[in-house]
Structure 1
Amino acid sequence: MTLHHISLHFPPSKFDAVLAFYLASLAPLGYRELSRPAARVVGIGVPVTGPDFWIHGHRSESSEDDQQREKVHVAFRAGDQDQVHVFYTAALAAGGVCNGPPGPRPEYSSEYYGAFVLDPAGNNIEACL
């Protein structure tokens, strides 16, 4: 079995910035907006496979709720090292913060290559081989 989809939830005040970040950052990997079934709910993905990454603006606007929320790590599979670099550049241009520049990660495996960026809410997003 493979993962079908994942959803990240954000306060409504961060929704537009987070959505813009992911649309720009994941475009080099072929992702784009594919579904908007409700207000502040957007599914993005590769058109061939459908939306597998969902952004939700949850009801609570409490900064306390957002500060206590566990941060997540999401890794997207890149086709090659060039895609990892383009993802990284696009993510930084979209407002992300470097959490590890593109390069080999021998501590994971001899063939692992990835880049890490923090999204506007502090989640660790990665493109890797």
Structure 2
Amino acid sequence: MGKRIMSTDIINHIEFPVAEAERSRRFYEAVLAPLGLSLVISIDPARTSHGGARHGFGKNGYPTLWFHEESGARRPIHIAFTADDRKTVKAFHAAALRSGGTDNGGPAFRERYHANYYAAYVLDPDGNNIEAVCQTE
């Protein structure tokens, strides 16, 4: 049997639709880099069941965040990524704005959650609310 890659997190992976897979790929390559995530795999539209490209991002060669191109109406989602420190939250936010994201709450403490909740929010090209958060002192 071949080597099996296992995720130890409670969620194995997340996938969501986007209007333009290549535009989103470029956006997420830039935005996720400060968080240590990178493009792991791209699947050609001819090999997908829905006829649109798929891209998977993750760490250590395992894609935990997927999106696929799909036409039609969709509701925005919210995804929060863990950042190791506040500097990384700032780098995430800056990369998102440089890459076509829209500010939805710059890097700051969100004490309504708790005293050490430091986060930044951006809207991706499809209007999804993407967050980076550091919850350490």
1:114 aligns with 2:127: no
> Which of structure 1's runs of 4+ aligned residues deviate more than 3 A?
none
The residue that corresponds to 2:10 in the other structure is 2
Task: State percent identity of aligned pairs.
Answer: 39
SS at match of 1:121: coil
Q: Distance in 2 between matches of 1:89 and 1:19?
A: 17
| TM-superposition CA deviations, 1:11-39 (whole Å, max 9, x none) | 3xx22111111110000011111012343
From 10, 13, 16, the equivalent of 2:22 is 16
SS at match of 2:106: strand
Q: Distance in 1 between matches of 2:31 and 2:42?
A: 19
The residue that corresponds to 1:55 in the other structure is 67
Q: Distance in 2 between matches of 1:116 and 1:79?
A: 16
Structure with the higher helix share, 1 or 2: 1
Q: How many aligned residue pairs are there?
A: 119
Gaps of 5+ in 2: 1-8, 46-52
From 34, 44, 50, the equivalent of 2:40 is 34
1:92 aligns with 2:97: yes
Structure number with greater Rg is 2
Per chain length, whose mean CA-contact separation is higher, i.e. which structure has more relative contact order (CA < 8 Å, sep 6+)? 1
Tell me how far 1:87 sits from its aligned partner: 0.4
The residue that corresponds to 1:73 in the other structure is 78
Give TM-score, length-normalised by structure 1: 0.87
> What CA RMSD, in Å, does the superposition of the two structures yield over aligned residues?
1.3
Q: Distance in 2 between matches of 1:72 and 1:95?
A: 18
The residue that corresponds to 2:107 in the other structure is 102
CA contact (8 A) 2:34 2:88 kept: yes
Give TM-score, length-normalised by structure 2: 0.82
